Chain A
Amino acid sequence: MLANKNPTKTDLSYKGKKALLEMIMPKLLLIVSLLSIITTVGIVIILLTESYGFFKAVSIVEFLTNPKWTPMFSSQNFGVMPLVAGTMMIAIGASVVAVPLGLGSAIYLSEYAPSRVRSIVKPMLEILAGIPTIVYGFFALSVVTPFLKTIFPELTLFNALSASIVVGIMILPMVSSMSEDAMSSVPNNIRNAAYALGSTKLEVAVKVVFPSALSGIIASVVLAISRAIGETMIVTLAAGSLPNLDFNYLQSIQTMTAYIVQISKGDTPHGSIEYLTIFAVGLALFVITFVMNILAKYISGRFKEGYQ
């Protein structure tokens, strides 16, 4: 063997090794790929089993209908509604900021912007998208809340308004870039046909490109709202920790995610009912975001217009 360093056809061990690799690698790679499925299954099993312990002590009916969430008080109430309401307030407030601005900037980048401007603006929006949410949370407390206080003097230090605006800024690049992708994929001959009929850029953008790209645009909005629902650090820092059903943006609220953080920071003993609540809330959060992600996928697939 030593004499024959260069493998030839007769070198069986070399060939054998190769053949073995060719046989083993696909299976090995498949096993690694299954890790992603195991992760999903793991998440579902963990959330279900730990929540099962919670629902043995608290009925699902109480969880869904009790209007109070006070697990840390001596008179414990386990109604998830106030947390869901807080989360929805943030999601709605964030959409009010992100949807118009995101769509406006997508139309600008896809239809109006000269390529030089595009090549500057797009990377900037990418940087915005890459800023950690903890930094946004700091920004909400140190800039946005003091600024809002000058407009609404009755604003409390922790409030839903500031948090929703900043969550809106966080999801803005997502709406913008995904909608822009959808609009850019509308073929140019459709635009040119509209221009040939004497349309202005605005008319082409709003009446031709926008409807053609609608499925992608709606999908981007749904995904962005789903991201806002799962957002944690901004709401933990800026929105406070007072679960309630008042729907007052000027006051403190608590979201599902912020509650999970609040409990995780403390010394809640493993296995106690307070410890189990974070998995029940996590399950609710998972179900909501999962449904929204599937919905986004369905919309973008179902209503996609085919172009030849």
Chain B
Amino acid sequence: MISREALELRVKRRKLKNRIFHSVFFLSAFFGIAVLFVLLYDVVQMSMGWLNWNFISSFDSRKYEEAGMLAGIVGSLYLIGIAAPLSFILGVATAIYLEEYAKPNRLNWIIQANISNLAGIPSIVYGLLGLAIFVRYLGFDRSVLSGALTLTLLILPVIIVASQEAIKAVPNSLRSASFALGAGKWTTVFRIVIPSSLPGMLTGSILGVSRALGETAPIIIIGAVAYTAKLPTSIFDSFTAMPIQIYNWTGLPKEEFRHVASAGIVVLMFILLSINALAIIMRNKYSKKF
């Protein structure tokens, strides 16, 4: 038998160990948040005095005082303007097929397994795909269209998975009610399932779009230009994008361009955070509880 004192000591030690590790775990959880704040502080602080209306409304320049982000902002809007609706339609269609129509056979299993595999492929590999297919084979050259199509394929898995989750949350009783009224399968999907799951689908798509906005590597590979002094007028024109410009400025040797890059990052992050906030608000406002 152990004496009472020894036992109490052991319990004390165990409790102390628990308290110590509580702090260790707490600190590791807050490490990420601390980094987030250091990062945001650094970027905002460096952009002070550099981020102004001139920066947003003028073209890039080899002189740091005159460098601006207009071409990047417009280029990114072009990319998103094509990639967002396209990937939404394709993603939602795939999700509807998998959730509402697909029978559990081999083909459908392969489609589903393949989607989670696609989500794990590095974005730079999508860039190589876009380079070979859109730029070379289909002859779209280094255009807005090539970039947008590459980004569409890249964010498609994200949108499919999010839409599948949204469709799964629609209770079967709603479908049964629709069938009981004599509606067919498609009518039920179109009139009942899609409207009920739309907020979830849109939220997922918005998050996909915000990922596309920040992607740099794939559009470097398909050949977005680093420096341009004109805006694209058609989808077959060459383009630059916000992350490309940030990358370019960060790599320039002059120290002042670091400030230009940080101003660019503030603009990009502001747009991304606004988009994410919109997604969260939509999720909270329109999400239905069944």
* Chain A residues within 8 Å of B, Cβ to Cβ: 18-19, 21-22, 25-26, 28-30, 32-37, 39-40, 42-43, 46-47, 50, 100-105, 107-109, 111-113, 121, 124-125, 127-128, 130-139, 141-143, 169, 172-173, 176, 200-203, 223, 226-227, 229-233, 236-237, 257, 260-261, 264-265, 270, 278-279, 282, 285-286, 289-290, 292-294, 297
Cβ contact within 8 Å between A25 and B251: no
Q: Is B35 on the interface with A (CB-CB < 8 A)?
A: yes
Given A46-B132, A173-B32, A232-B216, decide whether A290 and B121 contact each other with a Cβ distance below 8 A: yes
Cβ contact within 8 Å between B132 and A50: yes
How many residues of B are in contact with the other chain, CB < 8 A?
A: 87
Q: List, in ascending order, chain A residues with CB within 8 A of B160's CB.
A: 36
Given A226-B120, A265-B220, decide whether A237 and B28 contact each other with a Cβ distance below 8 A: no
Cβ contact within 8 Å between B101 and A261: no
CA distance A18 to B183 in the complex (A): 10
Q: List, in ascending order, chain B residues with CB within 8 A of A286's CB.
A: 121-122, 125
**Which B-chain residue is minimally distant from A223 (CB atoms)?**
B120
Nearest-CB distance from B241 to chain A (Å)?
Answer: 10
Q: List, in ascending order, chain B residues with CB within 8 A of A107's CB.
A: 25
Complex interface residues of chain B between 122 and 144 (CB less than 8 A to chain A):
122-129, 131-133, 136
Nearest-CB distance from A204 to chain B (Å)?
Answer: 10
Nearest-CB distance from B143 to chain A (Å)?
Answer: 16
CA distance A40 to B265 in the complex (A): 33
Q: Is B111 on the interface with A (CB-CB < 8 A)?
A: yes
Q: List, in ascending order, chain A residues with CB within 8 A of B21's CB.
A: 202
Contact with A along B158-193 (1 / 0, CB 8 A): 001000000000000000000000001111010000
Q: Is B59 on the interface with A (CB-CB < 8 A)?
A: no
Given A134-B216, A134-B246, A202-B18, decide whether A230 and B124 contact each other with a Cβ distance below 8 A: yes
Cβ contact within 8 Å between B93 and A32: yes
Cβ contact within 8 Å between A200 and B17: yes
Q: List, in ascending order, chain B residues with CB within 8 A of A29's CB.
A: 93-94, 96-97, 101
Give the most central of A46, A100, A229: most B CB within 10 Å: A46
Cβ contact within 8 Å between B114 and A36: yes
5 nearest interchain CB pairs? A230-B122, A132-B214, A104-B28, A105-B29, A108-B25
Interface contact tally, CB-CB below 8 A? 257
**Which A-chain residue is minimally distant from B117 (CB atoms)?**
A293
* Chain B residues within 8 Å of A, Cβ to Cβ: 14-15, 17-18, 21-22, 24-33, 35-36, 38-39, 42-43, 46, 90, 93-94, 96-98, 101-102, 110-111, 114-118, 120-129, 131-133, 136, 153, 156-157, 160, 184-187, 189, 207, 210-211, 213-217, 220-221, 223, 226, 243, 246-247, 250-251, 258, 261-262, 265, 268-269, 272-273, 276
Partner of B29, one of A32, A109, A237: A109
Nearest-CB distance from A211 to chain B (Å)?
Answer: 16
Q: Is the interface of A mostly helix, strand, loop or mixed?
A: helix
**Which A-chain residue is minimally distant from B251 (CB atoms)?**
A237
Q: List, in ascending order, chain A residues with CB within 8 A of B216's CB.
A: 132-134, 232-233
Cβ contact within 8 Å between B128 and A282: yes
Q: List, in ascending order, chain B residues with CB within 8 A of A279's CB.
A: 128, 132
18 A-B pairs with CB atoms under 8 Å apart are A26-B101, A33-B93, A36-B157, A36-B160, A50-B132, A121-B30, A127-B36, A127-B276, A133-B216, A137-B250, A139-B43, A142-B46, A143-B42, A200-B18, A203-B18, A261-B220, A285-B124, A293-B120
Nearest-CB distance from B37 to chain A (Å)?
Answer: 9
Q: List, in ascending order, chain A residues with CB within 8 A of B184's CB.
A: 18-19, 21-22
Partner of A237, one of B24, B97, B250: B250
Q: List, in ascending order, chain B residues with CB within 8 A of A289's CB.
A: 120-122, 125
Give the most central of A111, A131, A173: most B CB within 10 Å: A131
Nearest-CB distance from B119 to chain A (Å)?
Answer: 9
